[in-house]
Structures are given as C-alpha cells and as structure tokens.
Amino acid sequence: MTAGAEGSVYSAFERAVAAHGTRPFLRTPAVSAAAYADGAVEYTYDATKARVDELLKGYGAQGLAAGDRVAIAFDSRLEVYLHLLALNALGVSIVPLNSGATDDELRHIIGHSDARLLVSLPDYEARLAALDICKVLTESTLVDDAAIPQFAEPSSSAEAALLYTSGTTGKPKGCMLSNDYFLAIGRWYTGLGDICTLDEQDRLLTPLPPNHMNALCTSFTAMMLCGGCVIQLDRFHPRSWWQTAREERATVIHCLGVMTAILLTLPEDDDDFSGQIKFCFGPGSDPKHQGMFERRFGVPLIEAWAMTESGAGGMTIAYREPRHVGQRCIGKPIDTTEFRIVDEADNDVPVGEPGELLVRSVGADPRARFFSGYYKDPDATEEGWRGGWWHTGDVVREGADGSLYFVDRRKNVIRRSGENIAAVEVEATLLRHPDVNGCAVCAVPDEIRGDEVFAFVIAAGESDAREIFDHCMAHLTYFKVPGYIAFVSELPLTASQKVSRGEIKALARDVLAGGDVSDLREFKKRQ
C-alpha cells in the first residue's frame, strides 16, 4: 500500500510493528480475562499484526468499501483495538457500542450511524440481531480463508471512528473522528514530557472503556506511537487494583475521579508506589482527594481537561509544576492551542473571573486536531464553532500565572462517574410516564461519583418515586436514571417561561440538604 502524507492509524501501527515487533502491545490481565480465557491474554506487536491480518481476510469478504462504517460490540476486550486496526486499513470507520445501553439507545446509534455491518461478542448476537437494523456477525462467522484484500491507505482526514456522546439536545450526537484526530492525540500525549514522559518501557493500565476517547484514542494511540503496552481491564476492580498494578508492572495508570475517591476508602496497606508508577492520569478528581492520593500512594495525580469534540486541538493538562494541587487546576494549554474565557455575550472576562472556555488551534486551520463535526448535524457543529472558536460549555478561570482552573459546567450536562448525561434526555424519558406532568433534571454533588442525577417532578395526583424510577430504568442506561426524585407543585421559570436552570440547581441542593427527597441510588445498577 502507498503511505499518505500524514498517514492513518493503521500505517502508524505498521511502523510500530517494524520498530517494536517482539515487545508487548496489548494485554488483558487474568482478573479481566477470566470470563473467556484461562489466564492473561497478551499480544506482541507482531502477534497483533497477525491477528489483524486474519480479520482483514474476514472483512475483505464482506464487500466493505472505504467510507463505510461497522458497529462493534466487544465491551472492554482487546478485540476493540484489533478490529479498529483491521477496519482502519480498509478505510472503514468503527462505531463502538456500549452493551449496557438500552435497546432504544442502541437502535438509535446503529441506525443513525448508517452502519453496514455489526460485529459483536456471541453473548450479544441474538439481542443485536433482534434490533433488525443491519447484518450481525461474530468473529467466528466473520473468519474467512481468502487472501488479504488489496487496499489503499485512507487519507489523514478520513473518518476512523464515530463516537457517540451525550449532548444538550437529548439524543446522543455522533462525533466524527479522523485518522489525524487519533494520531494528534497520541503525539500530544507522548510529546508532553516532564511528569508525563512516556517511552517504550511504559505499561499503561486502564479500566476505562474503549467506547470513550480516553481509552480508544489517548492510551491506545500513545502506547502505539511510543512502543509501550496497553493493559486493558474489563472494568474497575477496586479491591484488586493495586495488586494488579504490581503484578502487571504498570508504570502509568488511567482512572477517573470516582475511582480515586474509591481507592482512598480502601484499608491502608503497602501503599507506596513511588518507585514503580510515574503518574496517574485521573481527570475530574475531587480537589480534596488530589493531595490525599499523592501523599498516600506516592504517585502524582494529574488533572486535565478535554472533550471528545476538542481532541488534541483544545486539551489542557497540569503535567508540570506548579500544578496547584487541590485547586481544580487543569494546567495551561500547550503552544498549539489558543483559548479565551468569555461571558454569556462572548466578551472576554478579566483574569481571575469565571467564564466559558473557548478553544481553537493555532494557525491557518482553527479546527485542526478537533473532531470533524457531528454526523448529520451540521447546524450543531457550526453552532459549537460560532465566531471561529469552539464553545466548550465549561466554566473556568485564569490564574495569575496563566494556569486554568475548572469552575463548573455551563451546559446542562451531568458528569457522573466519567459519563456525560444530557439532562434533556432524562427529562424526555420522565415525561413519557403518564403521571409526570412536568420535570426538570440537574446535577447535584456526589462524594464518590462527582455528580448524581437529580429530578424534580410535577406529578398528576399521588405518584410513587420508585415507579417513576423503574420507568426510567426501562428506557435509559442505568447511569442516566435519576438517583434522587423530589415531587414539587411548580418549577422556577424565566421571563420567557423556560425552566430556570440556575435556580433549579440551587433548589436541588437545598432540597437534598433538607432531606425531602427519595434517594434511589442503591437501585441504580447495570441490568
């Protein structure tokens, strides 16, 4: 095949194979492979190439063309990365699915994405086939003995993945991510240096799912570019976390704020990892936990800010001193990123004052290294880019030394355990219940999970909070369901008769403090 000017994810992988062939690349520890293997599963760079070649034969027999999409349902198994590489070689984009999503959510994503084919674990085949949207295969039915098909490398601007993320309009939006998006994030991460120096000796342990950008784009691509190894867990196992880190010789760990909070609740043991682990990439940690984590475990807990849409074009990370530990400091944007902090009229605010963070890339193309846009929603894309800046919806302030500090979210998006939840999606589901005449949803603080979903409900007559909760569980992925439900006779409104989001947020905190609310958090479990 002929290499393009910038290259694709697959061409970068080929270069990595040539440079690091016998070194480990993808690994799942025994604790995460127990459901399907007798022990740990590991692929060297060479072995990964052999597996990808096998998949190429199977996909070559499916009549796929460059620009097509294939939905994949492999949870957090290594197959996600293997199929990404095989399909990327053919110029085909992946649509990673969350098997924990409801049928309605999966139906929307698969249908909206225009996926030509869906490949899944055998456990999900019957369920996904019953959705009757596109052809469903498993790896065993995909396997083909044909020769590896001829293919030409896609351009750097070609789509590599379509990742769905919750927005403010209710339905998940499909973020189109190009080859350059992936590689730019990898280059950004491996190029940081200082505390976050990465090289071929690194072994990166992550429990984060590959249907999110952190695992799919950041850890995977960075390790591939530097010759390191991704150690992918099926989920976060708190009680065995540090044992796994020791046994797997992890040098870098990825987690979320909810995970660092849980780790701090574990009994103290031999907790000093300063001689093994260089840093923990753990954005969204509670400020009071950051210093506690570092003192107890001897590992810098690195704060950062990013969103799927911003990619490497707008990331910021506190990877060098002073990091202003315990102050929600997200560092300074790198030299290739410009930023503004503005009020609601998009006017710049003075240093030290909070405002919405706007970002763009330096140079002729302000959208370089960002996502390519929302699939089938150009209006939403252009709204986000109004005035030539990406409007993040997050509120920050700038410190005297140029560091940025996270303050709040302006958009009505709830961040629970690392998952973005659109309040309007939850509200739309609540309103489908026959006893709900009105509602408003917002975030309230949660000691462990960052945010929890809080719902005010105007009910018709006598209503049961648990019944409304069960209704939501039947139509939403479990983490989106309200953990708190409070019944009210009316909602605070603006002059234009819209729900006053600012008042709702303050009212929810007051109601929570007063205890006049149904606490349903214990029932929020993956079905």
DSSP states along 158-226: SEEEEEEE--SSSSPEEEEEEHHHHHHHHHHHHT-BTTB---TT-EEEE-S-TTSHIIIIIIHHHHHHH
Residue 276 to residue 271: CA distance in whole angstroms? 11
Cα 263–chain centre separation:
21
The pLDDT, as a whole number, for residue 4 is: 38
CA neighbours closer than 13 Å in the CB half-sphere of residue 250? 26
Secondary structure (3-state) at 341: strand
What domains are defined for the chain?
9-254 (3.40.50.12780), 326-409 (2.30.38.10), 415-523 (3.30.300.30)
The pLDDT, as a whole number, for residue 411 is: 67
- The answer for residues whose C-beta is within 8 angstroms of residue 106's C-beta and 6 or more apart is 97, 128, 131
Nearest residue to 482 via CA among 462, 450, 456, 449:
456
Amino acid at residue number 503: E
pLDDT, tens digit (0-9, with 9 covering 90-100), for 102-133: 898 899 999 999 999 999 999 999 999 999 99
The pLDDT, as a whole number, for residue 167 is: 56
Residue 414 to residue 167: CA distance in whole angstroms? 10
The pLDDT, as a whole number, for residue 8 is: 96
Across the strands, what pairs with 420?
415
Q: Which residues of the chain have pLDDT under 70?
A: 1-6, 167-170, 410-411, 494-498, 527
Torsion angle in degrees (nearest 10) through CA of 286, 340, 398, 215 = 30
Residue 192 to residue 203: CA distance in whole angstroms? 17
Secondary structure (3-state) at 503: helix
Instruction: Round to the nearest angstrom and report the end-to-end CA distance of the chain.
Output: 45
Element at 33 (helix H, strand E) = helix 30-33
Nearest residue to 136 via CA among 124, 148, 149:
124
Residue whose token pair is 């196992």:
237
The pLDDT, as a whole number, for residue 494 is: 65
The pLDDT, as a whole number, for residue 237 is: 92
Give the predicted TM-score (pTM) of the model: 0.84
- The answer for residues whose C-beta is within 8 angstroms of residue 47's C-beta and 6 or more apart is 25
Nearest residue to 488 via CA among 414, 417, 437:
437
Residue 35 to residues 131, 139, 162, 334, Cα–Cα distance (Å): 26, 17, 28, 42
| DSSP 8-state class, residue 313 | G
Strand-pair category, 117-120 with 135-138: parallel
